[in-house]
Chain A
Amino acid sequence: MAEGAAEVSLPESETKAEAVPATRRGRRPNPRIAQMKRTWYFLRRNTLAMVGIVILVIFIGIAIYALTQPIPWTQLQQLRASDGVTCASLNVTGCVCTYPAGSVAPGPTCYQTPSGYPSDVAPTIDVSHGTLGSLPLGSITVAPTNPTFYDIYAGLLRGSDWSLGVSVAIVGTGALIGLLVGAISGFFGGWVDEALMRIVDIFLSIPQILFVIIVIAVLVTLPIFQPFGMRVALLIVGFVIVWWPFYARIVRGQVLVVREQKYVEAAKASGAGGGRLVLRHIIPNSVYPIFVQMSLDVGTIPLLLGTLVYLGFPVFPTIYFPEWGSMAALSVYSGVGASTFTDALLTCQFGACVIPWWQFLFPGLMLFLYAISVNFLADGLRDALDPRLRR
């Protein structure tokens, strides 16, 4: 065994664990894809995670389908009818007939549920007295003075749109801001770190729901947020303001660890400046813990949104809104024929009202399924990505 020349090692492809198979001629197999395949393998073995994935895929499918429908889809379409016309004569299913307040003529106004869901219970509507009646499955009335009907089924489908879309937007933006703040704070340390962390502490010490309410209540007065489209933006902005500190704190903790690693020092020894270090070394290695938090938050935010609306908070511009939380809230109003939450509460004391159970069960069920499927997926992802559980 001579020294000097004999140091070149044998070709490593025989001696390394992952003998990466050659794909096409000349094309190197991408190691990042191999990592993803490995993560997928572990996810597949986790039953709960698979259940979560399946449910989530269904939700995404629903959301995409709902997106393809026009916006006022959930509102019942008013079929103008002339006098003497009845639903039967119109030969339309899913038709609900009402009589305008205090009149017999000119005739019924027919509403059709766009989903075509047939009504199987005879309608008992008393719109004349300004109360909300109980309508069969497939329809819901909202306001006594403005009998706009509302399709639960379509609302459920549309709700997945909102839940997914809004929560992804909130989580994405919040995580981005939190990542930047946490990375800067953790990397530079000193008074920057102290100042930013005190801000984070202040934000974190206020209860979330309360904070969101306050923020949105303050911001809603701004003229910029009056139009409907901007209301959605208001919602997102409000949540992001409350949510980014969680991410900042997680990222900062990880950055403090990564900062001490030798490869950061090696990059410094090669002459890397602060920006390059943060972008290329610190952030990619600190990002892992917030993935789990992000996936959990995607499940939590619709719950929070629903809670807000249920409490009567005017998040949306109209009280009828195809979002799960608001649908569940509206069930209370419709049950008692009230139009505000306090009225509903007062009327509903001591079980003196009957809330149509299907009107809040289904939205609640959707929320529950959504949140739990996201949680399963997040757990599975965390287990699959954990380098210590190399199985």
Chain B
Amino acid sequence: MEAVSQPVLETPVLPAEVPLPSAAAAPVVEEPTGPTERNPVVLDVRDLKTYFFTYDGVVLALDGVSFKVRRGETLGLVGETGCGKSVTAFSVTRLIPDPPGRVISGKVLFRGIDLLWGLDAEARIRIDPKTGRAKVRRSFRRIKAGLERMSAVRGRGISMIFQEPTQAMNPVFSVSDQISEALILHQGTHIVDDILAATPGAPEVRPALEALVEVTRAAGGPDASRQAAAKVGEAAHLSSFGTQSFYLVRDSELGSEDMVRRLEKGLHRVRLSRLEKRYLRHRRRRMVVEEELHDLYLAEMREGRVDRHQRRVLRARRTRLRLAGFYYGVWGIRGRVQRPLRDEAFWRTVGRLEEVSIANPVQVARGYPHELSGGMLQRVMITMALAVEPTILIADEPTTALDVTIQAQILELMRGLKTRIGTAILLITHDLAVIAEVADRVCVMYAGQIVETAPARDLYQHPLHPYTQGLLASIPNLERPDKKLSSIPGSVPDLIHPPEGCRFHPRCPYAMPVCKEVRPPTTVEGSEHTVACHLYKGPVAME
């Protein structure tokens, strides 16, 4: 039997679908992806410890986890169920449910800002030595303050997508409502500025519209139509209008005169009445206050102290604006004053959905989550997470619930986004094969500790830690089916009473007496390759 790396095809097969160029301008990334020395570290987790205080005892879920993610790189966090990888992701964004869990210590530096500042002041923990149970005294005021500080980072700097896409969206709101919410929340000022700066009445608009209609009727193909639509958007100084025109033209069958007139009526959405303008400016003021508040929180976390005065000032301003908003509430019946903002957000959503190669974005955007399949929903989730252009995307088992072919689509998508947008990705999964497809570097976790970190190639070709070796040996490899399936004896340890010393030693085939007593330090074994095992005696890794 010949070992093949590609299935032998008896007939020609069409190539994979080319992703559509987006009508909205994609942000240009100047930094190269992948880890280089010049690449700044975006997320630096140092010695993170998270414990869960349960009836059965204290679960030492994370016991000193450290890793770094650089800008634009994809770090894979691999481990089996119960090893703590999801806990790591939630600890970084402080989403651990407070009873029973708490982040005990550690530093999470996100672009230099310590996200865990103020942790010690929030709770006092005392462990009863007899039963092993803990009493936690929490200061709810401080915890609430801490969570509010995190709101400055969540969604804007760090976004997350989760495992079950069918359950991650609110079923009573349409897809575009939910994505618009994220867009308006995080990019609201830009959107409002664009709306206010649009020039629907400019003289260049009408000829551009006519050109678009011409091109479409001449059946020049989707690319030409898109370019013409982009020109319309430029003429009106509103790129989402280009998207709207493209879809209007594509989906309708009127003659050219009617078409142009209809398109111009579509422009009507951009023409604002005085009331709407006033509302938009009011809204912008509110968004600016929120942004200032978020900047204040970031500054607090960076400097390590609370600025009460400034907080009071900003919050008072926010309250005043909120009260002033009631006036617009009167006019806002049936969403009238909000209409321009919502429409703009809708068409921007459509643009984003195009970018993730969804074939009929207008329909999807108008529809509801239950109408979409798992693969589509995961794409929508990726859209929502990336719509605000975060610095880092945390993906918690994004493809586990999906079929193999859909998983291939999503992984393809993520690879494309990596090169296009340049977001750093922290990919958490238990599937080593998925990691091999997408990740630049890999961290292997076992029982709450990171046992090995390496660039992807090195890890798969020269795995150092016995656990990694065992994992790789137990994957049934399609390419080499004769390789017998070996398994690691034993099972994952109980984290309430973990083994002493190295947590893997009960299952390790190379266990030595020192492994039972001393926890192995993390040593550097090659460029960017670190291991925590007593078998290796390289230099200890600096934090």
Contact = CB atoms under 8 A, between A and B. Distances in A.
Given A3-B485, A6-B489, A14 B99 contact: no
Contacts of B484: 3
Contacts of A10: 489-491, 506-507
A42 B55 contact: yes
Nearest to B470: A1
Contact of B491 (A3, A15, A17, A41): A15
Interface stretch (B268-276, B362-370, B427-435, B492-500): B492-500
B494 A1 contact: no
Contacts of B100: 390-391
Interface string B479-492: 00000111111111
A391 B487 contact: no
B486 A15 contact: no
Given A16-B494, A41-B55, A6 B487 contact: yes
Contacts of B488: 1
Interface string B224-241: 000000000000000000
Contact of B54 (A7, A15, A19, A391): A391
Interface residues of B, number: 24
Q: How large is the interface on A (under 10, 10 to 19, 20 to 34, 35 or more residues)?
A: 20 to 34
Interface string A1-41: 11100111110101111110000000000000000001001
A385 to B, nearest CB: 13
B436 interface: no
A14 B54 CA distance: 18
A9 B55 contact: no
Contacts of A3: 484-487
Nearest to A13: B494
Given A1-B487, A1-B488, A7-B489, A390 B494 contact: no
Contacts of B486: 1-3, 6
B314 interface: no
Nearest to A389: B99
Nearest to A390: B54
A391 B99 contact: yes
B473 interface: yes
Contacts of B21: none
Interface in B482-532: 484-494, 496-497, 506-507, 509
Interface in B14-63: 53-56
B82 to A, nearest CB: 11
Contacts of A17: 56, 494, 496
A17 B493 CA distance: 9
Interface in B98-123: 99-100
Given A1-B473, A19-B497, A7 B99 contact: no
Contacts of B506: 10, 14
Q: Which of A14, A16, A42 has the most CB of B within 10 A?
A: A14
Nearest to B488: A1
A344 B484 CA distance: 92
B496 A9 contact: no
A390 B53 CA distance: 10
Contact of B490 (A15, A16, A38, A42): A15
A191 B377 CA distance: 39
A35 to B, nearest CB: 11
B55 A15 contact: no
Nearest to A12: B491
Contacts of A16: 494
B108 to A, nearest CB: 25
A125 to B, nearest CB: 61
B55 A390 contact: yes
Interface string B451-486: 000000000000000000010010000000000111
A189 B486 CA distance: 48
A391 B134 CA distance: 11
Greatest chain B CB density within 10 A among A1, A10, A18, A41 is at A1
A18 B99 contact: no
Nearest to B492: A15
A1 B509 contact: yes
Nearest to B490: A10
Contacts of B493: 14-15
Contacts of B56: 17-18
Nearest to A10: B490
A200 B169 CA distance: 36
Contacts of B490: 9-10, 15
A15 B499 CA distance: 9
A14 to B, nearest CB: 7
A34 to B, nearest CB: 10
A19 B470 CA distance: 27
A390 B59 CA distance: 13
Nearest to B484: A3
Nearest to B54: A391
Contacts of B99: 391
Interface in A127-167: none
Nearest to A37: B55
Contacts of A391: 53-55, 99-100
A12 B506 CA distance: 12
Nearest to A45: B55
A390 B97 CA distance: 12
B444 to A, nearest CB: 17
B310 to A, nearest CB: 38
Contact of B55 (A6, A7, A8, A38): A38
A13 B490 CA distance: 12
Nearest to A5: B489
A390 B506 CA distance: 29
A18 B485 CA distance: 31
Contacts of B494: 14-17, 19
Given A18-B56, A41-B55, A391-B54, A9 B485 contact: no
Nearest to B473: A1
A75 to B, nearest CB: 52
A87 B190 CA distance: 95
A391 B53 CA distance: 7
The CB with the most chain A CB atoms within 10 A, among B56, B470, B485, is that of B56
Nearest to A38: B55
Contacts of A1: 470, 473, 486-489, 509
A15 B490 CA distance: 9
Contacts of A19: 494, 497
A48 B485 CA distance: 56
A377 to B, nearest CB: 20
Interface in B135-169: none
Contacts of B485: 3
Contact of B487 (A7, A14, A41, A390): A7
24 contacts: A1-B473, A1-B488, A1-B489, A2-B486, A3-B484, A3-B487, A6-B489, A8-B489, A9-B489, A10-B489, A10-B507, A14-B494, A15-B490, A15-B492, A15-B493, A16-B494, A17-B56, A17-B494, A18-B56, A19-B497, A42-B55, A390-B100, A391-B53, A391-B54
Given A3-B486, A10-B490, A15-B494, 9 more contacts: A3-B484, A6-B487, A10-B489, A10-B491, A10-B507, A15-B493, A16-B494, A17-B56, A17-B494
Q: Which 9 A-B pairs have the closest CB atoms?
A: A10-B490, A1-B486, A3-B486, A3-B484, A6-B489, A391-B100, A17-B494, A15-B491, A17-B56
Interface of A: 1-3, 6-10, 12, 14-19, 38, 41-42, 390-391
